[in-house]
Structure 1
């Protein structure tokens, strides 16, 4: 397991307790948050999403992802009920290093940052952003972010620090291969 222990909540990815069902959102909220995962089987991506939901949905409904198959070994994940920026960052990291799964998928997330988002300082507010992990990672408890203007940041889970990276980010910003609005018309599997 490569995932940072400081991110685990309660009993980890095996705890299936959930908040009262009456508090679960039922009204979809328009947003542009999505994650594209490649080089992974359907069963493995389902298990990773379930593990994440087991960790983060114990006390409240922090993440209600929807899994959509794009092609063999490639999936889109959206958040029809929205998700906090901080939780989206944890989700991208967890999919790259899921507990109890020995896989190495390609994971990239996209969103538009908002004022008040955890880690986001004035220079990165209201910008389209791409979230990912570096090719070589020895820390496991952060994500990298590149904004639409190709400014790179390291978002460390150990602090509320947003650290601007040197002049060239590890990856330039690219738009997602599929628009989140197009995904809403494709049948997917919801997780809670």
Structure 2
């Protein structure tokens, strides 16, 4: 896991236009979290209609659903700095939410020139085997192809929390309890997935 985290850190540093990521790495050492929230992904989910836009209400709804499903888990919201200073962030409900997160030190504002994906990905990896991230992003684009594809896909399958959200309901879908790939356990035993429950 440490090698994977170091790989993510190295790629993020190569692609970052600021020193923000290295400062974040140092800060994260002292401030561990359990669940990382890809804020842009959540806020823009289903917003491709005429009046759609960046929805802080959706972020709030997803974070509340995570808290209900995983009480006491430490959540960290990731947003690019331009989102935090956008007009939508100044609306009373959004501003209050951001203030609450700042008070709890649970808001990571990624600097201009940085891709927030690297921040939440690194934090989720550093959180270890119980760390999770909330995003519907399939992570198929070129930036994620720089990571070891098989390992990355297997890791993602174990750590990604998916969601749906709308005006009446938010549904959280945690990672499956098992994967559909063959695995070797720490004791050297092999696990083969089966569609039949008794085999």
TM-score for the superposition, normalised by structure 1: 0.28
TM-score (norm 2): 0.28
Over alpha carbons, which structure has the higher Rg? 2
Structure with the bigger percentage of helix: 2
Could you say which structure has the higher strand fraction? Answer: 1
